[in-house]
Chains A and B, each alone.
Chain A
Amino acid sequence: MAKKTIVFFIIFLVMAALVAGCSPGAKNTAPEPTENMPSVYTVADNVGDWGFPAPYSHYLRGPGYIRMSLIFDTLVWKDENGIKGLLAEKWHYDQEQNMYSFSLRKDVRWHDGKKLTAEDIAFTFDFTKRYPYPWCDTSIVEKVEAEDDYTVKIFLKEAYAPFLTNIAGCLPIIPKHIYQNVENPSNFKGTKAVTGTGPFKLLDYNKEHGTYLYEANENYYLGKPRVDRIRFVKVSGQMIPAALQKGTVNAGEIPPEVVSKFQQNFKVLSSGHDWNAKLIFNHNIKPFCEKEFRQAVAYAIDRNRLVKISQRGHALAGSPGMLPPDSFWYAPEIKKYEFNPELSRKMLKKLGCNQQNFEILTTSRFSRDAELIKEDLEKVGLIVSIRSLEDKTLDARIEDWDFQMAINGHGGLNGDPQCFNKFVLGGDFNSVRYRKNEELVAMLEKQLSIMNDERRREVVREIQEVYAAELPALTLYYPNWHWAHDGKVGLYYTPGGVSIGIPVPLNKLAFLEGHNVR
């Protein structure tokens, strides 16, 4: 009898569970989509983890900044038409005082409900004096004064041309009431650390799985975002086309071979040439400290062949002056180092460097380039071995100068030519940290203070010429990148790149009503 009762009870439970599961009341907790808009907009990324999306803990690469920028706003921001106000309603530059005055919007609130005031702006700049924000050098700022709650004056030590794009449009404004007690911002993580004023709030970050989940900030001062949630998921590069076709993701980067196929059913975005792959020399050790050796290596490498073979034609050959041909600042007349193995061999012989063993560090992404370069260098008498490392290990080895030659890459080339200072004089792994040529250093510093574009262009042209002659790194190519998306959100590549020049079509303004293009 007891047995029968137990069996009956189990059957009852199973039936009850089934009925409950099938009833109309069983709803997903995710918000319902509106106007054909997905409730969760999913972006595929083949790396996944780009660090905790707070200003001081995101990884120092474009996608890390993008994830942080959804939460934190800057004074101004670039969209498809150029610079526009974000936290600042309007601004003006006082040349006599060398001062920018920003009038802030009065309707901005932090995610915790507190109002944003000029005190927060002044605090952010002061904070960067104590804890420099690696993406944005604020050392040019003399002082910041909060004139009233909604007016802030930023005094500069000297004229600084890229102030709007590279400081006002890059420095994430942080809340004074939270960050004022923070002693170690790079270790400051958690809900409070991601209290911003941006259009999205962080709901979940999973380092191991490389996923991010954001929810729309309903009280955003430019209006509630058009999607309720944004999710970044890790999907390997080769699986992104399939994920897009199945509809499991809304947007992602696609390989160039499938572009024509995707153009039929998806919106395909093609990048400019803001990103470069480069061969970096450790110019602190012999023989790489000799510029003639670096030049000999440049002559030995057939960059057009790299484009044709490793990039299968989907790239532009690199300019030794670093900037791409489609940049406003590009100098076409600089030394090109056209492929000339004979000259390279002679130069190496003169330097007594043939038959030496060298190692090229790379990642799987550039291993094909490394193979082709090895072949080229072996033809001129250098013996080369290749070592493939994980991305972040390679970055760390470059930063520690623990390499001979390395192939790595970065974007930001189509933004303000301040990028030259960042990639030549900066202190991180993306920079060649080259100060051996005083003329180059002086010109780099000078170009920042020239407010007239044409005059500045002339100096930037000379910089490219000297850089190409010194060759602390050789730009190999600028790849063509393609993103496909389902068209539900009007993603676009920001001219000059997001903020300081990030070539990713994920401008946060694309997610706002009236601020996106289709």
Chain B
Amino acid sequence: MHINYVNTIKKNSLGITGILLLFFMSLLAFIAPVLAQYSPVEPSTQTLAFPSASHWLGTNDIGQDIFSRLIYGARTSLLIAAGAGSLTAFIGAFLGISAALAGGICEKIIMRAADILLIIPNMVVIILVAAYLRPGIAALILVIAVFGWQGNARVIRSQALSLKERAHVAAAKAFGAGNLYILFKHIIPDLFPLITTSFIYHARRAVFMEAGLAFLGISDPAVISWGTMLNRALDFSYLNNWYWLIPPGAALSITIVSFTFLGYALEETIDLRLGDKNA
């Protein structure tokens, strides 16, 4: 009935690559305090230093160690990926299932709200809202989630509507199962693959958005972020500072690629199962 994620990913080379890359980035984030030789935030008077044995990737304009900031930056990215990914997936699933099960005016309101958000280019809205909110990781997660659930909600609603009419749900009803029992025992487990894919998709989107907003300067400058690092490095591009510019770009690419590969691998399997069920 339900997907075995480990087996699914194991059979897919893209999935394995994605998992390995994500594991690598997570490991970096986790052991950052061990790997970092310096505090990522402590400035020093040794500014704009070239890579050396003491500073592997040199120092930035206020003397912070670039390597330490790079690995601590993974924490910010992955935290926002996990936070925004799960919150978006949860809001999408909650609203999608509610619309499908409640129907009537409730369904209409939720779906029209989703339509409106689908029409508005959400990157622009997120930039505007982020510019007016107090900056910070929590605010960023909230903004990304609040303006990102709509596509997810539509897909989940249509799938939940279909599940509602399935034979096993009808059978459960015939045996006297209540709405909540059916929801938690049959509908949510069957929707779980979709919710997981949605999580992966939105986690990838959140990494990209966080870096983009930080790059544009619409974030808390005190938060260690690859986007901010890229922004700062570009300010000093006249010094030919490749050692400052390339690492955050590469780290960002690896993280986004890892989520993308993982998403592909899961999507392939889920599409197949949904196809089987619909048949």
Contact = CB atoms under 8 A, between A and B. Distances in A.
A258 B220 CA distance: 29
A11 interface: no
Given A374-B222, A386-B220, A312 B135 contact: no
B51 interface: no
Interface stretch (A48-56, A185-193, A238-246, A431-439): A238-246
13 contacts: A239-B237, A240-B238, A241-B238, A255-B236, A310-B62, A312-B61, A364-B217, A364-B231, A368-B62, A371-B222, A385-B134, A385-B136, A386-B221
A381 interface: no
| B62, B63, B239 — most chain A CB neighbours (10 Å) | B62
A367 interface: yes
B136 to A, nearest CB: 7
B221 A238 contact: no
Contacts of B47: 309, 312
A149 interface: no
B238 A242 contact: yes
Interface string B36-71: 000001011101100000000000011100000000
Interface in B104-144: 131, 134-136
Contacts of A371: 43, 62, 221-222
Contact of B222 (A308, A309, A386): A386
A372 B63 CA distance: 12
B179 to A, nearest CB: 45
Given A385-B134, A385-B136, A309 B62 contact: yes
| A242, A257, A370, A389 — most chain B CB neighbours (10 Å) | A257
A238 B62 contact: no
Interface residues of B, number: 25
B45 to A, nearest CB: 5
Contacts of A359: 134
Contacts of A255: 236, 238
Interface in A299-313: 308-310, 312
A238 B236 contact: yes
A238 B234 contact: yes
B135 A387 contact: yes
A15 B61 CA distance: 56
A370 B62 contact: no
A391 to B, nearest CB: 11
Nearest to A378: B222
A388 B217 contact: yes
A42 B45 CA distance: 36
B238 A239 contact: yes
A237 B235 contact: yes
Contact of B63 (A309, A364, A387): A309
Nearest to B63: A309
Given A238-B234, A312-B61, A372 B43 contact: yes
A384 to B, nearest CB: 9
Contacts of B236: 238, 255, 257
Given A258-B239, A372-B43, 7 more contacts: A258-B238, A312-B61, A371-B43, A371-B62, A371-B221, A375-B43, A385-B222
